[in-house]
Copies of this chain bind each other. A is one copy, B any other.
C-alpha cells in the first residue's frame, strides 16, 4: 500500500466514532443516546447530525471504520499452501489468532463488541460489511479448509464446517460472562485464552484428520 485508500477519520469525527464503537457495542444502539455519545467524545450533540447526518449515520460510520481497521488486520494470509499438512497448520494459527483477538485484544475490544452486536441486531448496513469483509474472509478460509482436507472449496459441507469452526470461537466472546462463571475465571486473560485455543486446536486437528468412510 502506498497511499491510504480509506483515510482514517480525525478530530471530532474520530472521537465520535470511537464513542459510538464503545457505547453501541457495550449497551446497544437503541440504548445509547446522542448526549451520551457527545459527552464521551467531548463534542457537542449537534456535531453528530453535522458530521454524520444523525445517529443512524454515525452507526454506519462505525461500521465503515470496523471494516477499515479489519481490512488492515486481515490483509495477507491469502496464499494456499501446497501440502494439506501446511494448510492445517495455517488453519491452526488462524484459530489461535482468532481466539486471542476475540477474547483478549485490548485495542480492538470495542471493535469486536460493536461488530458482534451489529450481527446480532442485524442492523442496516450489515450487508455491505458482509460483502466487503465477511464473505471474502470466509471464502479464503474455505479454500484453506479444502486444501487441508481435500474437499471441494465451495461445497456446502466445507462452508458449514468453516462456520462451525469460527462459531465456536465467537461463542467464547458472546457468552463470555457465562464462560467465566462456569470456569471460575475472574476474566479471560492471555492465560485463559491459551487454554481455550489449545483445546480448540485439538478439536480442529481431530476434525481435519477425520475422513468419511469410503
Contacts and interface: CB of A to CB of B under 8 A. Distances in A.
A192 to B, nearest CB: 9
B164 A200 contact: yes
Nearest to A161: B199
Number of copies: 2
A150 B164 CA distance: 25
A167 B171 contact: yes
Interface string A179-214: 101110000000000011001101101110110100
Interface residues of A, number: 50
Interface stretch (A45-53, A82-90, A103-111, A152-160): A152-160
Given A120-B116, A120-B120, A174-B120, A183 B168 contact: no
A206 B210 contact: yes
B164 A168 contact: yes
A135 interface: yes
B116 A181 contact: no
A182 B164 contact: no
A120 B209 CA distance: 34
Contact of A163 (B27, B164, B172, B207): B172
A210 B199 contact: no
Specify the main secondary structure of chain A where it touches its partner.
Answer: helix
A126 interface: yes
A98 interface: no
A203 B157 CA distance: 11
A60 interface: no
B135 A177 contact: no
A120 B117 contact: yes
A72 interface: no
A160 B193 CA distance: 11
Interface string A106-137: 00000000001101111000100010001100
Interface of A: 27-31, 116-117, 119-122, 126, 130, 134-135, 138, 156-157, 159-161, 163-168, 170-172, 174-175, 177-179, 181-183, 195-196, 199-200, 202-203, 205-207, 209-210, 212
